[in-house]
Structure 1
Amino acid sequence: MTDALALLCYAAAVGVLAPKALTRGTWSYRSPALAVVLWQGLAVSFTLAAALASYHLITPTRHLHNGMSGLLHFCGLALDTYVPGLTGVPAFAVPVGVILLPLMCFGHHLIRARRARARHRSVLDLVGRRSARLRATVLDHETPVAYALPGRRPRIVVSSGALRVLSPAELDTVLEHERAHVAGRHHLALAAAEAFATAFRWLPLARAAREQTALLLEMAADDRALRRHPREVLASALYAMAGGRTPQGAFPAGGPDAAVRLRRMLAPRGPVHPVPRGVVAAGAAAVPLLPLVVGCMPCLV
């Protein structure tokens, strides 16, 4: 039971303590793209830890008797072990089911969002007009709003109200922000966070990862727009469109996190130093593998 206890303690640390530590500071706002990768890595790490722990809990006596014939046996896993009391059900099906749960939720969120975007595109084909100059679809609506519809047929949408209230520089900045969402395929990262939150909705890590991923993706798009435009321009455009509403599956230029993004732009801090940034990047790459190390540790001592 040592291996199961170690994996459960690790899963508890990742699922409960890690999100509190990550949301305590504001370092992630200085490197939002890297922070998104770290949140995704923690989600994968927790899923693997929960899967391995479930296996070791249902087969507590079948871990150190299979020799060193392969990685599965070495880590205490065996394909010929069955769930006690359930004839013919391999024990390996339990951790596989834990892993498949968020994957199935991920596919569900992708399909649902794609259908919603497809319905909205069909409406835009009827009521919107294509602007070659803006490389966007203009929608006749008084509310200032701009958003991106990502996917296989991406589309940038801007309302006539936004064209009326935004200056040319502000409009260019907003469009650059939306193109960053499309180019970065941010909808995949957001769908992954939503899927993890659906699969483990009771988990603090799942709730924090969903909230932080949505905010950090907006900040990452802001950073790309700020490479070519002054931050004051983007801040004023963001303020003008903070109250706009967008359809499901779209990335808005404004939105509920506009106040946090405005404070970040108006009180900028320098980028994270390369050394701690490299440490965080290495940690983000290594954290999905830690459950395997924890699970194999009892076999090494």
Structure 2
Amino acid sequence: MILPLVLLAFAVAAMAVAPRATSRGTWGSRTPRPALLLLVAAAVSAGQALVLAALAAVSAGQALVLAALAALPGGWAALVAWALDLPTAHVRSDYGPHVLLADALGWAVLAWMLMNLVATAVSLAHRAGRAGRKSRAHLRGVAPRLPGERARAARLVVVESVLPVAYCLPGRPAYVVLTTALSRRLTAPEQQALFHRARAQLRGGHHWMIRWAELPVRAFPGVAVLDLFAGQVRRLADIAADDFTARRVGRAAAARLIARGGCATLMVGAGIPKQPGATAERVRRLLRADSPVGVGRRLAASIGAGLLLITPAGLALVPAFLPH
């Protein structure tokens, strides 16, 4: 049961260290894409570690059953082992009750974590899919597709609402929804900047990053490490979209758009989402025009992401090289 615990500890460490590494200093804000790559690699690595921990726990389950058989009195161990077609030669009697209890408890906790994650993922996918289909049907009725319009092109739709918000609806086709209250507040160049920013979010797959980052938060609410991870993913996704907008329309225009609350956020669940936060920080960042991070830091982030991805498999292979 040691290997599953080691893999579980690695998953927790990856989710805890990655957001702190990207938020330390200013390098994450100056180069959001490598920082996002590092966070995504940490999430994928933690998922790999959990799956491998489950497989290792299943393989250790037979040893746990055999150890429990050894605690049976008389010839019951051989009888039950014969009924379950288990190798009686491997039934060990050097397991105490405390070891059996600890192994069983660890296996139960790992099984509960995986079942909770799977159930939460299915529930969130069902709710997001239902909300997306409902919103998509409403938007098709408000703004039907014109003859000759490309099927995969992102569409800008203005809907009637007193709330000055804008949001993206991923999918095919993707929608950039702008309320009438916000359209009256923004000028035509600002609306164009908003559309560029929304396209950056959709093309960059930010909705998938945010969904996977919020999955453990929903499965295990109240864990500060997971909240920090999801918040950092959202922050870096917003900054990456800001940079794309600045390259299209200029830093001043992008900062003015953010200051006026004209940023489209991603719809990853039911209802109209909240607008991106940290507006003042993002405006100051665009107007400050920090120098880009050097190649060395970018290379270090890429190497770190690669190491995160291969570490779970390396840990799982370690017992194969140890003497038995």
Change (3 A) 1:183 1:198: same
The aligned amino acid for 1:120 is S
| Secondary structure in structure 2 of the residue aligned to 1:136 | strand
2:10 is matched with: 10
Q: 1:247 to 1:150 in 2, by over 3 A?
A: closer
Residues 147-226 of structure 1 mapped to structure 2, 5 A cutoff: 147-201=167-221, 203-226=223-246
Asked if 2 retains the 8 angstrom alpha-carbon contact of 1:15 and 1:204, the reply is: no
Residues 50-81 of structure 1, C-alpha deviations (whole Å, 9 max, x = no match) = 4555666x68xxxxxxxxxxxxxxxxx57x93
Instruction: Check whether the contact 1:16–1:203 (CA below 8 A) recurs between aligned residues.
Output: no
Aligned residue for 1:29?
29
Q: CA deviation at 1:178?
A: 0.9
Classify 1:261/1:111 alpha carbon distance in 2 versus 1 (closer, same or farther; 3 Å).
farther
The 3-state SS of whatever aligns with 1:271 is coil
Query: In proportion to residue count, which structure has more helix?
Result: 2
Give 1:1-301 correspondences, 5 Å limit: 3=3, 6-7=6-7, 9-52=9-52, 81=62, 83-84=64-65, 102-126=117-141, 135-201=155-221, 203-241=223-261, 249=269, 254-300=275-321
Q: Aligned partners of 2:293 and 2:265: how far apart in 1?
A: 33
CA distance in structure 2 between the aligned counterparts of 1:200 and 1:164, rounded to whole angstroms: 41
Identity of aligned residues (%): 29
Task: Tell me how far apart the structure 1 counterparts of residues 7 and 266 of structure 2 sit (CA, whole Å).
Answer: 42
TM-score, normalised on structure 2?
0.69
> Over alpha carbons, which structure has the higher Rg?
2
Question: CA–CA distance in 1 between the matches of 2:254 and 2:283?
Answer: 9
Residue-by-residue CA offset, 1:79-131 (whole Å, 9 max, x unaligned): x935435997x99x987875565455334323322221222233334556889
2:5, 2:160 → 1: CA distance? 60
Q: TM-score, normalization: structure 1?
A: 0.74
Alignment check: 8 A CA contact 1:2 1:298 kept = no
- Report the alpha carbon displacement of residue 174 of structure 1 after superposing the two structures with TM: 0.7
Aligned residue in 2 for 1:70: none
Kept in 2: contact 1:51–1:96 (CA 8 A): no
Alpha-carbon offset, residue 2 of structure 1 = 6.2
Q: Is the 8 A contact 1:239 1:254 kept in 2?
A: no
| Aligned residues of 2:186 and 2:262 also touching (Cα < 8 A) | no
Distance 1:29 1:144 in 2: 27
- Of 232-241 and 112-121, more deviation after overlay is shown by 112-121
Q: Which amino acid aligns with 2:14?
A: V
Unaligned runs of 5+ in 1: 60-76
CA distance in 2, matches of 1:41, 1:27: 17
Are 2:7 and 2:49, in contact at CA under 8 Å, matched by a contact in 1? yes
Q: In the TM superposition, what is the alpha-carbon distance from 1:136 to its structure 2 partner?
A: 1.2
The answer to whether the Cα contact below 8 Å between 2:42 and 2:308 also exists between their aligned partners in 1 is: yes
Deviates more, 1:242-251 or 1:189-198: 242-251
Hey, what's the Cα distance between the residues in 1 that align with 2:268 and 2:209?
Answer: 16
Aligned length: 279
The separation in 1 between residues aligned to 2:296 and 2:267, in whole angstroms, is 40
- Report the aligned-residue RMSD: 3.9
Q: Which amino acid aligns with 1:36?
A: L
Amino acid at match of 2:187: S
Given that 2:197 and 2:264 are in contact with CA atoms closer than 8 Å, whether structure 1 keeps it comes out as no
* Amino acid aligned to 2:206: H
Change (3 A) 1:106 1:243: same
Deviations 1:168-201 (A, max 9, x none): 2211111111112222232211111111323344
How many angstroms does 1:277 deviate by? 0.4
28-37 or 3-12, larger mean C-alpha shift:
3-12
Taking the aligned partners of 2:40 and 2:126, their CA distance within structure 1 comes to 20
Q: Deviations over 1:217-251 (max 9, x none)?
A: 22222222222111111111222126999966489
